[in-house]
Chain A
């Protein structure tokens, strides 16, 4: 145990002295996440995106109001809106990645919105401010939108869709706000509501609920950086773990492995220590990413406990696969190449470069054949509003499975390698 500990510490110390390790483990993933967060911003994305709309309004009149609002919202040409009659059907399609995001209009939205506008009229400025606080965003008192406000359904693995859906909700809301305010004037109030509500308060009442439901009040950019942060960390920790495992081959060629085996320690301590050092670095790199992106971009990964647990599970499974790949290569150069290619293929299918929501359904499904896909689903769900430990149960089980299978195969191989 003691020997394994020192092997692990020395492994980490050595690797942290290596500038290329610092770059691949810490600098590159952070820079790429930041760049991709900006590049994938809806306004910059050229691809087609499908957004669901589940209008649950009960009466034809109310549906007509929503239709008018949707038509009036200036939806960009590359976004198409598909209608759903049930909330569950739409949510499932979002989960499966068939659509990039969805907007729900709750049954009582139209009537409540009209009532709200009607009530707003005779209110004193204080009361208006109180209502706006409930509905509004950013005052810090309450972040819950009223239950009747439209909601965006999105998984974080489809951040482009989420951002566009949020825009759509904003558009519906502002159209409706304008409509209801106009309507309330014709109902014969003594003073027009526009005069009573400050322009910012109108905006708050109308637009804010939509934004609030997406990813803990994240802006589109924050949620995109929040998506790409773990995504990039995962790609690089795979490559890092692979080169780390390859360094055992280098130690065999360099002779230090012989020196380790010549010492009165068990082979298991040597292998265990090496792997622990490797994992330590992988976990360190993903946690650094977490701290850096939340501090610098305000990206939110979710609750601390589950983020830690999922980070560890992700690091362990990615390292397991990487070690297996490296351990089966004949020499160092081949090991590096194999790790790089495997890492890129897994990242491509896992959704590290293209969020599953922006991929064809088949590819989106395929992402769950990779540990990357599971990890990203876990991180995505964790970042959704109100997600707790339950959100990561599935991903953690899947990742542990990957880790166990690949890890034990890799161990068998590592034992052969260490017998010089």
Chain B
């Protein structure tokens, strides 16, 4: 396909009265990549997405999708975007199939092609057998899945999902995440906003952390963790002379601290995975018998806290 990222946005700025809702946000998303925008309520995620999809005009900055400029006035270029709004944006008094046929027509689909495509997207989100039921009779999770289906109708190059799992039961959430994963594998560029760090960690190749309208950091999970100097925690459950074992551990390269906590030794290391082999050797040397080793990498919650001084969730 085309070279370069599917989505490029740069210097996006949106002002509502005195409030800067989005302040200089810019990033790229490539084919087959899932980019996560992670931020708390009111961070500016929806506003950023709205500018990318051409729903609200930017006060400054530019958006390019599949090589074409997007703004509130562009019509044809929007055909490359699949948009899944934060709320369930379907007509409750129409069935899922009727909704999908209607929105499909807005994307220029018709006749047999429309029917086929509606069938395909219903299949993708697992709603084929409920296609004829009105949306108002759907459960929350089914509504959300139908909402995603509507964003897939037009075979988008860029799929934009705005917090698609809010208020959804774990089972539906899992099915939604699986759908997104498979779409990404199929080559879509996915832009995913969330304030659940677990989702961002599981789904996203790269994550942009947004707060107060600003993109405060960006990168893979590891890069973000390294950025704030995050340390892994390693817990070794073992029998034997744990005090001596802890002593020995402190001398290992990359280990910053080691503590005997009774039934285990807890270590803090720059990179937990690198110290595993020396740890086993040290245990052997002390005659300590290991039961289990757990490595806990710092999570995005911690990254967010250290970047903004605030918790991710209110």
A419 touches B89 (CB 8 A): no
The contact string, 1 if C-beta is below 8 Å from chain A, for chain B 49-79, is 0100111110000000000000010011111
B57 touches A259 (CB 8 A): no
A266 touches B75 (CB 8 A): yes
Kindly report which residue of chain B lies nearest to residue A3, judged by CB atoms.
B106
Known: A6-B105, A265-B106, A419-B57. A259 touches B50 (CB 8 A): no
Least Cβ–Cβ distance between B240 and chain A, in angstroms: 61
Stretch with Cβ within 8 A of A (4 or more), from B80-88, B182-190, B257-265: B80-88
B55 touches A261 (CB 8 A): yes
What is the interface residue range for chain A against chain B? 20 to 34
Stretch with Cβ within 8 A of A (4 or more), from B90-98, B220-228, B305-313: B90-98
Of B75, B89, B93, B105, which is within 8 A of A258 by CB?
Answer: B89
Tell me whether B107 is interfacial, beta carbon within 8 Å: yes
Kindly report which residue of chain B lies nearest to residue A2, judged by CB atoms.
B105
Tell me whether A262 is interfacial, beta carbon within 8 Å: yes
Tell me whether A295 is interfacial, beta carbon within 8 Å: no
A262 touches B83 (CB 8 A): yes
Cβ–Cβ < 8 Å partners of B88 in chain A: 254-255
Of B53, B83, B91, which is within 8 A of A10 by CB?
Answer: B91
Cβ–Cβ < 8 Å partners of A258 in chain B: 50, 55, 83, 85, 89
Cβ–Cβ < 8 Å partners of B78 in chain A: 262-264
The contact string, 1 if C-beta is below 8 Å from chain B, for chain A 234-276, is 0000000000000000000011101111111110000000000
Tell me whether A83 is interfacial, beta carbon within 8 Å: no
Stretch with Cβ within 8 A of B (4 or more), from A13-21, A62-70, A322-330: A13-21
Known: A13-B94, A14-B94. A256 touches B105 (CB 8 A): no
The contact string, 1 if C-beta is below 8 Å from chain A, for chain B 1-26, is 00000000000000000000000000
Tell me whether B196 is interfacial, beta carbon within 8 Å: no
Q: Which of B55, B90, B94, B107 has the most CB of A within 10 A?
A: B55
B106 touches A263 (CB 8 A): yes
Tell me whether A303 is interfacial, beta carbon within 8 Å: no
Cβ–Cβ < 8 Å partners of B27 in chain A: none
The contact string, 1 if C-beta is below 8 Å from chain B, for chain A 388-420, is 000000000000000000000000000000011
Kindly report which residue of chain B lies nearest to residue A256, judged by CB atoms.
B89
Cβ–Cβ < 8 Å partners of B72 in chain A: 419
Known: A262-B55, A420-B56. A256 touches B91 (CB 8 A): yes
Tell me whether B103 is interfacial, beta carbon within 8 Å: yes
Kindly report which residue of chain A lies nearest to residue B108, judged by CB atoms.
A264
Cβ–Cβ < 8 Å partners of A6 in chain B: 102, 105-106
Distance between Cα atoms of A148 and B108 in the complex (Å)? 69
Distance between Cα atoms of A259 and B78 in the complex (Å)? 11
What is the interface residue range for chain B against chain A? 20 to 34
Known: A262-B83, A264-B75, A264-B107. A255 touches B91 (CB 8 A): no
Cβ–Cβ < 8 Å partners of A260 in chain B: 106
Kindly report which residue of chain A lies nearest to residue B153, judged by CB atoms.
A263
Distance between Cα atoms of A14 and B92 in the complex (Å)? 9
Known: A255-B86, A259-B103. A264 touches B79 (CB 8 A): yes
Distance between Cα atoms of A123 and B107 in the complex (Å)? 81
Distance between Cα atoms of A417 and B90 in the complex (Å)? 19
Cβ–Cβ < 8 Å partners of B55 in chain A: 258, 261-262, 420
Distance between Cα atoms of A262 and B156 in the complex (Å)? 12
Cβ–Cβ < 8 Å partners of A13 in chain B: 94, 98
Tell me whether B150 is interfacial, beta carbon within 8 Å: yes
A10 touches B102 (CB 8 A): yes
Least Cβ–Cβ distance between A61 and chain B, in angstroms: 74
A264 touches B53 (CB 8 A): no
Cβ–Cβ < 8 Å partners of A7 in chain B: 106
Cβ–Cβ < 8 Å partners of B105 in chain A: 2-3, 6
Cβ–Cβ < 8 Å partners of A266 in chain B: 75
Kindly report which residue of chain A lies nearest to residue B53, judged by CB atoms.
A262
Distance between Cα atoms of A14 and B91 in the complex (Å)? 8
Cβ–Cβ < 8 Å partners of A14 in chain B: 91, 93-94
Of B56, B85, B98, which is within 8 A of A259 by CB?
Answer: B85
Cβ–Cβ < 8 Å partners of B90 in chain A: 256
Distance between Cα atoms of A13 and B83 in the complex (Å)? 24
Cβ–Cβ < 8 Å partners of B106 in chain A: 3, 6-7, 260, 263-265
Least Cβ–Cβ distance between B94 and chain A, in angstroms: 6
Distance between Cα atoms of A291 and B56 in the complex (Å)? 46
Distance between Cα atoms of A364 and B77 in the complex (Å)? 56
Distance between Cα atoms of A13 and B53 in the complex (Å)? 28
Distance between Cα atoms of A2 and B111 in the complex (Å)? 14
Distance between Cα atoms of A221 and B77 in the complex (Å)? 61
Known: A17-B93, A255-B88, A420-B56. A265 touches B75 (CB 8 A): yes
Cβ–Cβ < 8 Å partners of B103 in chain A: 259, 263
Distance between Cα atoms of A172 and B154 in the complex (Å)? 77
B54 touches A262 (CB 8 A): yes
Q: Which of A254, A262, A265, A266 has the most CB of B within 10 A?
A: A262
Q: Which of A13, A14, A17, A259 has the most CB of B within 10 A?
A: A259
Distance between Cα atoms of A255 and B72 in the complex (Å)? 17
What are 30 A-B pairs with beta-carbon distances under 8 A? Answer: A2-B105, A6-B105, A10-B102, A14-B91, A14-B94, A17-B94, A18-B93, A254-B87, A255-B88, A255-B89, A256-B90, A258-B83, A258-B89, A259-B83, A259-B85, A259-B103, A259-B150, A261-B54, A261-B55, A262-B55, A262-B83, A262-B85, A263-B103, A264-B77, A264-B107, A264-B108, A265-B106, A266-B75, A419-B72, A420-B55
Please give me the 6 A-B residue pairs with the lowest Cβ-Cβ distance, nearest first. A255-B89, A255-B87, A263-B106, A262-B83, A264-B78, A264-B79
Enumerate chain B interface residues (CB-CB to A < 8 A).
Answer: 50, 53-57, 72, 75-79, 81, 83, 85-91, 93-94, 98, 102-103, 105-108, 150
For the complex with contacts A255-B85, A419-B72, 15 further pairs of A-B residues with Cβ separation under 8 Å are: A2-B105, A3-B105, A7-B106, A10-B102, A254-B87, A255-B86, A255-B87, A258-B50, A259-B83, A260-B106, A262-B81, A262-B83, A264-B107, A264-B108, A419-B57
